[in-house]
Chain A
Amino acid sequence: MKDESSIYADLTEIFCEVFGRDEMTLTPALSAKDVDGWDSFKQIEIIVSVEERFGIKLNTKEIDGLKNVGDLVAVIARK
């Protein structure tokens, strides 16, 4: 089980890289509709980066089940 706050810290870095921003505030409820440019292409970038950073592989069901950042954190924590 990984510590949630350290997952958030790593995810924030990933999101900043993917969206080319200096700062982003990630909350559990944050989802694609809240972030400018978060399309299906960016979604794949996020997942590929998460897989590389955490050394895990998300399966199709898990990816399909992601509705917001909170879901993503939960999936990472479970792995």
Chain B
Amino acid sequence: MRPLRWLPPADDFRSRLKSLAAADDTSWAQAVALANTQLDFIRTNALDAAVRARFGDTAPPDSVGKPIRLAVLGSSTLAHLHAGIRVGALRRGHHLVTYENDYGQYLQELLSADSTLHEFAPTAMLLAFDARHVTQGIHAGLQAEDVDSVLEDVLGRIEQCWALAREKWSGPVIQQAVVNVFPPLLGSNEHRLPGSRRHFVARLNDRLRALADRHGVDMLALDDAAREGGLSAWHDDALWCRSKQEVAPAMAPAYGDLVARLLAARGGRSYKCLVLDLDNTLWGGVIGDDGLTGIVLGQGSALGEGFTAVQDYAKDLARRGVILAVCSKNDEANALEPFEKHPEMVLKRTDIASFRANWDDKAANLRAIAEELNIGLDSLVFLDDNPFERNLVRAQLPMVAVPEVPDDDPALVPRVLADAGYFESTRITEDDRQRAAQYQENRARDQLRASASDIDGYLRALDMRMIWNRFDMVGLQRIVQLINKTNQFNLTTRRHTEAEVQAVMADHQSFGLQLRLLDRFGDNGIIAVVIGRMTEPGIVTIDTWLMSCRVLGRQVEATTLNLVAAQAKSLGATRLIGQYIPTKKNGMVRDHYEKLGFTVVSRSEAGGSIAVLELDDFKPAVSFITVSEGVS
């Protein structure tokens, strides 16, 4: 199986690689584009070398998000994987530098405050222990009790590494699951031999997952990846003897992408929406030509079942929070017909948050979809069987992910989508589960807005209720998720870890507010988060103010300010300070505080500003939203 098979091949790799060396403003974008082609291990190394020669350890201004400093700690040779990780990050526009411990010295480096690891100051950590290392002392002659005590020891040591990492650095900790490289001793019933190293690794991975959940550590499921691609592709026993490389060099690009997508997910930069073509993507044939009875879908043919598999996978993605959209060259009435009338359709019209079937070009329609859903173009994955359309979108909208699709076999599509890891997510919240329903409710709201004669009439008819709470354990996951993934309506784009949010909860000089909005069409979930902090006597500074874009234009901002002002007053403040820190994505809130009646007192060259509100003069805004404090 070729690594990165969802990416298109690059024909002119060497010439494009060479042009990176030119001191040109577009070099980074060119490098990102090159990283989004199908690179084998040698090309990955070559691209990495060229990028490092051009940019060194300094992140260019057009790289995405904060630069990442990843410490890769392990017990065997990992140097051959670093280029794959860096290029994996580059594929997502991130600038990433890596650190590797001296061979076998990971624990000493974690413990010692003057180690080169501390000097490196990682913002993320990957613990990659090899199978031989974590099974030291295990052999087939051991009794069950002795094996159990070794298992507890190993888990304890790994837990200690997590604790040391947490104590000193605030970034994400990733634990690599152990690749089960050991040949069986019993066979199919290996689990009946307590001292089998193969069985030991299986038990260890189970326990690690449970432990990682409790510690907020993310797993790198290398065990699953090795099963998926076949152990012999991932691990070469002879190479282990030669160079102590547990992961075969040829798989370094795949390994690096697994790591990079986890880091991107942690930074809130996974893709959010799957945009589907219709003809020969969701069903076989062309609905406009073949008609409802002519298209191939469902039971009765292998091809039809393949299309059902695509729809099943998309539907399950929607159930766990991925937004679905349709982008098809068709008359709308024709395109809608299968959704409404074909008995084998798994996807229904209500599963599709944005439906574009017309004769405009697909790039224009993808723009319209992003706008309608209020998400960035870089949140879209576009699935289309037609190479012409795929290449057109890649050329016009390079930020949209467009997977290569296996020729004419829809049955293979779900696995390609899964392998590409576009929708990597480290947790699932109640809001994720409700998302599909929320987009349906939004459509009902839009219809109401279209029928209401004026905006006040519309807002009144919505019957909005805002329920606010201080941060609490119930909302914690969703709060952390919003803080780390909200890009557009986000005044400061400060990312906070779970531990930092809990610190706000415990601090009497701070307040964290979570706001939920309900209306006659349903529950929008937690739609805003604000953190205020008493920074000087009498002054509360708003550290974080973010909001879900789907409730824009509904007086939520002013209603939120009423609550923030009340909280600040209860801390004894007479003045509120708000700050706007510009990013590439948050231009929509540039004048947020001014619109709410704050006075801007300073502006930075970069476009940032600081604004002040005197609380004694503040009159709470009147809105159509009924506000109440929630019970928790």
Which A residues lie at the B interface, using CB under 8 A?
A: 17-18, 20, 22, 40-41, 44-45, 48-49, 52, 59-60, 63
Contact for B42 among A22, A49, A59, A60, CB less than 8 A: A49
- Give CA–CA (A60, B243) in the complex, Å: 11
Which of B100-108, B164-172, B234-242, B345-353 touches A? Answer: B234-242
- Give CA–CA (A41, B252) in the complex, Å: 13
CB–CB B250/A44 < 8 A: no
5 tightest A-B CB contacts, nearest first: A17-B42, A48-B249, A60-B238, A48-B250, A20-B46
- Give CA–CA (A41, B242) in the complex, Å: 11
Kindly report which residue of chain B lies nearest to residue A14, judged by CB atoms: B42
- Give CA–CA (A49, B42) in the complex, Å: 8
Write the nearest CB–CB distance from B275 to chain A, whole angstroms: 35
Given A20-B46, A20-B49: A48 and B41 interface contact (C-beta under 8 Å)? yes
- Give CA–CA (A24, B241) in the complex, Å: 31
B45 lies within 8 A of chain A by Cβ: yes
Kindly list chain A residues whose C-beta atoms are within 8 Å of the C-beta of B79: 41
Kindly list chain A residues whose C-beta atoms are within 8 Å of the C-beta of B569: none
- Give CA–CA (A64, B512) in the complex, Å: 64
- Give CA–CA (A60, B241) in the complex, Å: 9
Given A17-B46, A45-B249: A40 and B238 interface contact (C-beta under 8 Å)? no
B245 lies within 8 A of chain A by Cβ: yes
CB–CB A44/B249 < 8 A: yes
Which B residues lie at the A interface, using CB under 8 A?
A: 14, 40-43, 45-46, 49-50, 79-80, 238-239, 241-243, 245, 248-250
What 17 additional pairs, Cβ within 8 angstroms, besides A41-B79, A59-B238? A18-B42, A20-B49, A20-B50, A22-B14, A44-B242, A44-B243, A44-B249, A45-B41, A45-B45, A48-B41, A48-B248, A48-B249, A48-B250, A49-B42, A60-B238, A60-B241, A60-B242
Kindly list chain B residues whose C-beta atoms are within 8 Å of the C-beta of A49: 42
Write the nearest CB–CB distance from B386 to chain A, whole angstroms: 31
Sample 22 A-B pairs with CB under 8 A, ordered by A number: A17-B42, A17-B43, A17-B46, A20-B46, A20-B49, A20-B50, A22-B14, A40-B243, A44-B80, A44-B239, A44-B242, A44-B245, A45-B41, A45-B45, A45-B249, A48-B41, A48-B250, A52-B40, A52-B250, A59-B238, A60-B238, A63-B242
Kindly list chain A residues whose C-beta atoms are within 8 Å of the C-beta of B241: 60
- Give CA–CA (A26, B245) in the complex, Å: 28
Kindly list chain B residues whose C-beta atoms are within 8 Å of the C-beta of A59: 238
- Give CA–CA (A48, B241) in the complex, Å: 15
Kindly list chain A residues whose C-beta atoms are within 8 Å of the C-beta of B42: 17-18, 45, 49
Kindly report which residue of chain B lies nearest to residue A42, judged by CB atoms: B45
